Structure 1
């Protein structure tokens, strides 16, 4: 296996264990994550010795989501040159590249099981929406928080969660940006099961991965292919639409206010501008 900055990868008994490592606080998703995920999952997909993948986070949390400090240049030119088409076109291309980092997980033929503990925010929810099976520890907390920053979630949550959650539950999460605990996440179907602690959740993910790995790999790939066919076109269309929408409408005073308020740890004052 290649060496990566944003994750560690361990392979044993036909199971690859991918652990988010940051380097941002709380395994926040910085430039290395977005660049490495398509390469990593292409490598795992091509490895005949890997029949299942477990995805987990290091430290106390799964992921804080997008590393805004490290990815500031992605939004910066859009805000300073909002009237110009060039930064919008550049943002649109960068956004599609970021979308592909999550799509690489969803499109991998090898089944993926996430074990979530601690916070799973924004981009973290984008990531787990792309896996096949989701487990959580009792301390896990989830938030589709982009609305709090005046951002329409644009790398996967709004495209894939409609196939996981009922419409009302999804709209409640996306429109409020509220935090929910593991018990609520299980009740609405965001996670399959909740376990007492992170170790138990990870053990369950490993056990399910072992069950999958014991099955004929070609048949497992076929099951994933058939199940994914029901949503592939709809997800792709949604991702294209939100990329165009955000490229056109994302720059705003509310976006600046939302990001500043987050860094200053205060409630934002949105004006609709």
Structure 2
């Protein structure tokens, strides 16, 4: 029996279709707003690496299902990973385990960034936190006019550690990156395009996906080895700096992220109220 292809397999957090040398990967949850829970972090590396190894796939499109791209990290679903390190008596072992969890989760976003096959993101609705991490790992980004973006981690007591802080400066510049990361503010598609986060804005989500498909087809029509070579050259100078940033933030978060403010942020989400941060 031949081995199943990526598109033949059933996934819990994604749907994958391949046609005409282009793969479409759709986030499907199961959390609300395609929030990124355990299934997302486990499955995405296998999907991207499998597609990248398939010579019949020359471009990959990533998009969301429903009205939103992604609400970002599914904190309730991932609370089991946070619980031990938030305990008052958390010592070296839970902090080391938390560091390992960060590295494990980074692997999912890194798989997109490291893919030799070009990746195009098509975004509609909310793209928050981990959603921004994901699209910054893509090569090209399109969005519909209803799209909204937020590097939200600072507002929930976290330092973004999945790649936004490493990759955004090369995309939008240092000043814009610092504004988004330090405020956690929301920006619309037009502002995202103005600062370079988005390549082009369309009126509707359907038009954004159609534009992504057109670009993917153009890429797929080019010599595949040359396309991979272009990506390799473009990524060469930045890959070491990104890797160093990701290693540093993983260590920093394992040491310093556990705090009363993070506990308060998690509690406020479960209790559906505004957090009260005290800086402790």
**Same fold, TM-score > 0.5, yes or no:** yes
Cross-structure match for 2:66: 59
Cross-structure match for 1:25: 32
Question: In the TM superposition, what is the alpha-carbon distance from 1:265 to its structure 2 partner?
Answer: 3.5
- Tell whether 2:188 aligns with 1:181: yes
Larger CA deviation: 77-86 vs 22-31 = 77-86
Question: In the TM superposition, what is the alpha-carbon distance from 1:82 to its structure 2 partner?
Answer: 4.5
Contact kept, 8 Å, 1:82 with 1:251, in 2: the verdict is no
Instruction: Give the alignment partner of residue 218 of structure 2, picking from 199, 211, 215.
Output: 211
Alpha-carbon distance between aligned partners in 1 of 2:94 and 2:271, rounded to the nearest angstrom: 27
Partner-residue secondary structure (3-state), 1:70: helix
Q: Once the two structures are superposed, what CA deviation does each residue of 1:218-248 show, in whole Å capped at 9, x if it has no partner?
A: 0000000000001000000000000000000
Cross-structure match for 1:142: 149
Question: In the TM superposition, what is the alpha-carbon distance from 1:268 to its structure 2 partner?
Answer: 1.9
| Mapping 1:226-241, distance limit 5 Å | 226-241=233-248
- Tell whether 2:251 aligns with 1:244: yes
Question: In the TM superposition, what is the alpha-carbon distance from 1:127 to its structure 2 partner?
Answer: 0.3
Alpha-carbon distance between aligned partners in 2 of 1:82 and 1:214, rounded to the nearest angstrom: 58
Alpha-carbon distance between aligned partners in 2 of 1:140 and 1:181, rounded to the nearest angstrom: 6
Structure 1 ranges of 4+ moved more than 4 A = none
Cross-structure match for 1:78: 85
- 1:82–1:132 CA distance, 2 compared to 1 (3 A): farther
Question: In the TM superposition, what is the alpha-carbon distance from 1:260 to its structure 2 partner?
Answer: 2.2
Q: Which runs of 5+ in 1 are unaligned?
A: none
Q: Which runs of 5+ in 2 are unaligned?
A: none
- Tell whether 2:49 aligns with 1:38: no
Cross-structure match for 2:76: 69
Cross-structure match for 1:105: 112
Alpha-carbon distance between aligned partners in 2 of 1:215 and 1:83, rounded to the nearest angstrom: 53
Q: Once the two structures are superposed, what CA deviation does each residue of 1:33-83 show, in whole Å capped at 9, x if it has no partner?
A: 101111111100110000001110000100000111111011100011554
Question: In the TM superposition, what is the alpha-carbon distance from 1:4 to its structure 2 partner?
Answer: 1.3
Alpha-carbon distance between aligned partners in 1 of 2:127 and 2:170, rounded to the nearest angstrom: 19
Partner-residue secondary structure (3-state), 1:8: strand
Number of aligned pairs?
Answer: 273
- When the two chains are superposed, the root-mean-square deviation of aligned CA atoms in Å is 0.9
Q: Once the two structures are superposed, what CA deviation does each residue of 1:137-173 show, in whole Å capped at 9, x if it has no partner?
A: 0000000000001100001111111111111100000
Question: In the TM superposition, what is the alpha-carbon distance from 1:262 to its structure 2 partner?
Answer: 3.0
Cross-structure match for 1:133: 140
Contact kept, 8 Å, 1:254 with 1:270, in 2: the verdict is yes
Cross-structure match for 1:262: 269
Question: In the TM superposition, what is the alpha-carbon distance from 1:269 to its structure 2 partner?
Answer: 1.4
Contact kept, 8 Å, 1:82 with 1:88, in 2: the verdict is no
Give the TM-score, by structure 2 length: 0.96
Alpha-carbon distance between aligned partners in 1 of 2:198 and 2:272, rounded to the nearest angstrom: 29
Question: In the TM superposition, what is the alpha-carbon distance from 1:217 to its structure 2 partner?
Answer: 0.2
Question: In the TM superposition, what is the alpha-carbon distance from 1:85 to its structure 2 partner?
Answer: 0.5
Partner-residue secondary structure (3-state), 1:268: coil
- Tell whether 2:14 aligns with 1:7: yes
